[in-house]
Structures are given as structure tokens and as C-alpha cells.
Amino acid sequence: MSGWIAIAGLGPGDEALVTPEVGAALAAATDVVGYIPYVARVAPRAGLTLHPSDNRVEMDRAALALDLAGAGHRVVVVSSGDPGVFAMAAAVFEAIESGPARWATLDVRVLPGITAMLAAAARAGAPLGHDFCAINLSDNLKPQPIIERRVRLAAEADFAIAFYNPRSRARPDGLAAALAILRDTCADRRPVLFARAVSTPDERLRVVPLPDARADMADMRTIVIVGSSRTRTIPGTRFLYTPRSAA
Ligand code: SAH
């Protein structure tokens, strides 16, 4: 039987948010490869080998998955949320581009999942209802001046901004720097959403005005969504939203 590799998103945490397509790939798999806590979300069963690995070994993980698929295994590489958002799909394609030619002919599919910013936005209302962008505050391969420039330009362009990895070990002060830039650039009281562990039993949502937002309100399980100049809460409700018109 010929092998394949599916790079799949497990969603933000809740089983109900795993797509049926991803469930079917896991049911057909012989091997699951990924970061330890994500592999732990896959139920063990006879005939399925789990290959959990530590953080920051994405290229080794991609090579293992590609070699297994080349040997005829049915491999699911798991990420949380969506695999194309700051996750394993790009790592697998980087490996294919620079690796042995036999990897380029493998049967590779990317199976989308619900990314953290969409799960968090849905819980809060519709803060991403108009133009927005996403910025990863931890990417080791991205120098701090590039991050600061992107944050400033995103604020000047009046995007709502979703910050992934706001308090990573790689860059613990990244969020404090980003918030300082936003306070300088925006100088208003737009809402900031701190959404922690969305769709898990540990979920916690908090909305504060930009001048009151502090980096210690976020940890590694938090996504931070900073509104645009138009984002507001509806008084008397818990809803946060951005109207669809620019002004
Ligand atoms: N591929 C993932 C993102 C991986 S980066 C996705 O599409 O969601 C890891 C970061 O995602 C975390 O630091 C946090 O900012 C965010 N994140 C992942 N799951 C989350 C959840 N359930 N609730 C809040 N933020 C989450």
C-alpha cells in the first residue's frame, strides 16, 4: 500500500472543533508525528504508532514524517489550531524543498483546522469583523526590529492584530515591546482581548482598554487580539466587535 502524509490541524482544544476530515485521516493513519502535547490529544489504538517530539525540532519531525510516508506508512503530522498558521505545514514544505528528490513526489495533503484567533474571536463576538492581520511574537528566525516594524505599520494601517505566542520562552518580552509601540502609535482606549486556552476547561477571556493592557496578562496559552480604531464593546453585553465599515 502506498504511503501518504497529511499535515493536520487539531483546532484550539475541544474535540467538537476537530474537523471530520482530520478525524478520518487520524482513523486511517499508521503513524502520528508532532509536538508532545498535540500528539497527546490523539487517542492511542492498536496499529497506530505515536511519535511525540520536543518543541523546536520541526525539521527533524518533518524529515521523520516524510521518511515514514516514503516507506509506505500513512502519516498524520499534527499541529494545534491550523497547521498552516505558525505551525508544521510550512516546516514540511521547507523540508521538501531542500530535501532529497524522492520527498517531492510523495502524496502530501494539508488539512485545515480552526486557528486560535478565530476560536478566540468567536468567543468574544466579532473583533476580526473588518481587516486584520496576525503576527507571531516568538518566531526565532525573525529579528526583533522586523517584528517592531510590522506592529507599527499594522497599527498605522488600522488593522486589528492577533498576536500569537505572546509570551514564548524564546522572546518573553515581545508582548511588552509590542504594547508599547501600540500605545505610542494609537493613543486611544481601543479594546484588547486576552483569550487563554480557548475551548478548553481552562478558558479565560478578559478585555481591557489598550492603556491598561500589560504583558503579564498573557502566557503561552493566550492569544491577544488588539482591536482597530473602530473595535468596541457593546455596553451592557459581553460582546466585542469591529463594524464592517472602515469609518
Ligand atoms: N497553529 C496554531 C498556532 C501555534 S502557535 C493555531 O493555528 O492556532 C501557539 C500559539 O497559539 C500560543 O502561544 C497561543 O498564542 C495560540 N493558541 C493556540 N491554542 C490556543 C487556545 N486554545 N487559546 C488561546 N490561544 C491559543
Of residues 106, 118, 116, the one with CA closest to residue 6? 106
Residue 198 CB–ligand 1 contact under 6 Å = yes
pTM of the model: 0.96
Of residues 66, 21, 29, 67, the one with CA closest to residue 48? 29
Our mutation pick for probing the ligand 1 site, out of 14, 18, 165, counting the most ligand atoms within 8 A of Cβ, is 165
Query: Which residue, judged by its Cα, is nearest atom 13 of ligand 1?
Result: 165
Confidence class for position 246, pLDDT limits 50, 70, 90: confident
| pLDDT, tens digit, 9 for 90 and up, residues 106-135 | 999 999 999 999 999 999 999 999 999 999
Res 173: pLDDT: 87
Q: How far is the CA of 101 from the centre of ligand 1 (A)?
A: 33
Q: How far is the CA of 142 from the centre of ligand 1 (A)?
A: 18
Residue 205 CB–ligand 1 contact under 6 Å = no
Res 1: pLDDT: 61
Residue 65 CB–ligand 1 contact under 6 Å = no
Question: pLDDT averaged over the chain?
Answer: 96
For residue 173, the Cα-to-chain-centroid distance in whole angstroms is 19
Query: Which residue, judged by its Cα, is nearest atom 2 of ligand 1?
Result: 81
| pLDDT, tens digit, 9 for 90 and up, residues 163-205 | 999 998 777 889 999 999 999 999 999 999 999 999 999 999 9
State how far the Cα of 181 lies from the Cα of 184, in Å rounded to an integer.
5
Res 2: pLDDT: 86
Is 247 a residue whose pLDDT tops 80? no
Residue 35 CB–ligand 1 contact under 6 Å = no
Of residues 61, 23, 57, 62, the one with CA closest to residue 43? 23
State how far the Cα of 224 lies from the Cα of 208, in Å rounded to an integer.
11
Confidence class for position 44, pLDDT limits 50, 70, 90: very high
Residue 154 CB–ligand 1 contact under 6 Å = no
Q: How far is the CA of 222 from the centre of ligand 1 (A)?
A: 7
Q: Which domains does the chain have, with CATH numbers?
A: 4-114 (3.40.1010.10), 117-241 (3.30.950.10)
Strand, helix or coil for residue 29: coil
| pLDDT, tens digit, 9 for 90 and up, residues 58-105 | 999 999 999 999 999 999 999 999 999 999 999 999 999 999 999 999
Q: Which three cell numbers stand for residue 197?
A: 486556552
Percent of the chain scoring above 90 in pLDDT: 91
